[in-house]
Structure 1
Amino acid sequence: MGNPLILQSDFGLGDGAVSAMYGVANCVDLDLKIYNLTHEIPPFDIWEGSYRLLQTIAYWPENSVFVSVVDPGVGTDRRSVVARTHSNHYIVTPDNGTLTHVNKDIGVAEMRMIDETINRLPNSGASHTFHGRDIYAYTGARLAAGVISFEQVGSKLDLEQLVMLPSMDAYMESEVLYGIIDVLDVRYGNIWTNISRSQLVDLQVQYGDLVKVTIEHESAIVFEREMIYGRSFAATEKGESLIYINSLDNVAVAINQQSFAKKYKISTGVDWKVFIKKT
């Protein structure tokens, strides 16, 4: 029996793209277990694709194979790679920054260039716009099924050449926590920061305390208000703001039963700064 194959993309489910990837994988091995991480990454949003891998990968067994295709550079000279993490998971992806969060928090142990003369869907050589099907799903399925080993993916790459997106580590200075908005809890509109629970503890903030939250975008303040640090949404009334600890043990900002991101037009990435101060 092979290892799990988990697919992620910005393709959506409105056409046959994801089904084609499933079909290719099943042609490699009908017994493969194939799962979706998500196919609702916003189009071309490499940053969010990177974060969703980190959000998910640790909860899958060792040797699981992830295929992540958020690929605005398809058809260019960007590299197609397979990375092995220090947690012994595999990620098949374009080397365009998709590995940023995983490399920072888990670590990439080894990376190999996909040899397309071997690991490419037969008779697809004239297609240059659907590498998710022709290269990534095909290579990922072969690796998950044990048809090829990691060493047979292709030549080993220097990890110093790994493409990383700009990012910023959270830190504390003068009793203020500084971080960024890593991602949105998209269905509910909560914002997830990269400030950890342990850093909030270092600030000596406890449940029920008030904190001042400031959010800046490109040095302009877009939100600033005091709110409670709650164990859960039950700490506030409907429509009130709070900070809480999310499922990745980081600080999140929310409005009880409303979308914080939509109300204040908040997005994600290194240009979206968050400051937290105990009041």
Structure 2
Amino acid sequence: MKNALVFQSDFGIADGAVSAMYGVAYSVDRSLQIFNLTHEIPQYNIWEASYRLIQTTVYWPKETVFVSVVDPGVGTNRKSVGVKTATGQYIITPDNGTLTHIKRMCGIVEAREIDETINRLPNSGASYTFHGRDIYAYTGARLASGVIGFEEVGPKIPIEEIIELPVIEAKKDKDLVAGTIDVLDVRFGSLWTNIPRKLFISLGISYGDKVEVSIKNNKREVYRNIMVYAKSFADVHVGETLVYVNSLDNLAVAINQGSFSRAYNIQTGTNWIISIRKAPRLVYE
């Protein structure tokens, strides 16, 4: 039985790049089942590519093969790798930080550098700008179809050598928790943080409590307000703000039926710091 092959990239679908990767995969095995994670990663945004993998990968069956191509360093000496996750999936990708969240939050049990003398689309050797088609789609399809086993991807490399992007850990400081805004819930404009639910509730906060939220871009505060810690969007009126627990069991901030990111011009990354504490009684009583 063939394993699923799941593609992710920053290519979009306005041209033929994604279709070309499909074509290469089907040329390996026409019976493959191919799916898309997303092709709407912002151009060159390795951080978001990493986040979308952790958001999705662990929910797929063991031996599913993911091909992630967000590769601003294509043509340089960055490695091409395949890894096996602690939950049993495979990821084929440039070693440029794309595996940051998988390595930290899921775990990698084995890593291999792709042997491009074997795992490269035939007659593509003169091209150095479309490794997504020529190396990653080709290798991913060969692995998913069973043409090669994982050991045939290439030689083993130490897991600790897999490149990670800089991360700022969420922390608790007396009466507040602080972390970073890692990514947006793109379609709805909610802010997804790296603050775990368990760390947050250690402040003694329960559903329905009012919390004070502060957001800084570097050291400049761009937002501060009081909102409800809600179980779901239905707990507040349309247009009201809320703090809730997202699908990764981390805290998120939103406007019910509105875009928090667009309303307050807030973006993502390690320079966007969010802190949350139980609102002082003087503020809301």
Instruction: Return the TM-score normalized by structure 1.
Output: 0.98
Code of the aligned partner of 1:86: A
Corresponding residue for residue 183 of structure 1: 183
Is this contact kept in 2: 1:214–1:225, CA < 8 A?
yes
Give unpaired runs (5+ residues) of structure 2: 280-285
Is this contact kept in 2: 1:181–1:269, CA < 8 A?
yes
Corresponding residue for residue 87 of structure 2: 87
Code of the aligned partner of 2:60: W
C-alpha deviation, 1:93, in angstroms: 0.2
Give unpaired runs (5+ residues) of structure 1: none
Corresponding residue for residue 122 of structure 1: 122
**Are 1:259 and 2:226 counterparts?**
no
Q: Which secondary structure does the structure 1 equivalent of 2:59 belong to?
A: coil
**Are 1:206 and 2:214 counterparts?**
no
Q: Distance in 2 between matches of 1:124 and 1:138?
A: 11
Corresponding residue for residue 152 of structure 1: 152
Corresponding residue for residue 25 of structure 1: 25
Corresponding residue for residue 272 of structure 1: 272
Code of the aligned partner of 1:229: Y
Code of the aligned partner of 1:87: T
Q: Distance in 1 between matches of 2:85 and 2:269?
A: 23
Q: Deviations over 1:115-156 (max 9, x none)?
A: 100000000001111100000000000001110111111111
Code of the aligned partner of 1:103: K
Aligned residues: 279
Is this contact kept in 2: 1:11–1:39, CA < 8 A?
yes
Q: Distance in 2 between matches of 1:49 and 1:84?
A: 17
C-alpha deviation, 1:219, in angstroms: 1.2
Pairwise mapping of residues 223-262 of structure 1 onto structure 2 (< 5 A)?
A: 223-262=223-262
Q: Which secondary structure does the structure 2 equivalent of 1:172 belong to?
A: strand
Code of the aligned partner of 2:6: I
Corresponding residue for residue 64 of structure 2: 64
Q: Distance in 1 between matches of 2:45 and 2:243?
A: 26
Instruction: Return the TM-score normalized by structure 2.
Output: 0.96
Q: Deviations over 1:176-235 (max 9, x none)?
A: 101111110000000001111112221111111000011111111111111111111112
- Residue range with higher mean Cα deviation, 233-242 or 29-38: 233-242
Q: Which secondary structure does the structure 1 equivalent of 2:195 belong to?
A: strand
Code of the aligned partner of 1:200: F
Q: Distance in 2 between matches of 1:161 and 1:152?
A: 20
Code of the aligned partner of 1:68: S
Q: Distance in 1 between matches of 2:266 and 2:151?
A: 43
The two structures, once aligned, show a CA RMSD in angstroms of 0.8
Q: Distance in 2 between matches of 1:50 and 1:214?
A: 26
Q: Distance in 1 between matches of 2:105 and 2:13?
A: 30
Is this contact kept in 2: 1:167–1:269, CA < 8 A?
no
Corresponding residue for residue 100 of structure 2: 100
Q: Distance in 2 between matches of 1:234 and 1:87?
A: 34
C-alpha deviation, 1:236, in angstroms: 1.4
Q: Distance in 1 between matches of 2:189 and 2:200?
A: 22
Code of the aligned partner of 2:170: A
Q: Distance in 2 between matches of 1:23 and 1:231?
A: 44
Q: Which runs of 4+ in 1 moved over 2 A?
A: none
Q: Distance in 1 between matches of 2:208 and 2:87?
A: 36
- Residue range with higher mean Cα deviation, 225-234 or 48-57: 225-234
Corresponding residue for residue 35 of structure 1: 35
Q: Which secondary structure does the structure 1 equivalent of 2:140 belong to?
A: helix
Q: Distance in 2 between matches of 1:138 and 1:169?
A: 36
Code of the aligned partner of 2:140: G
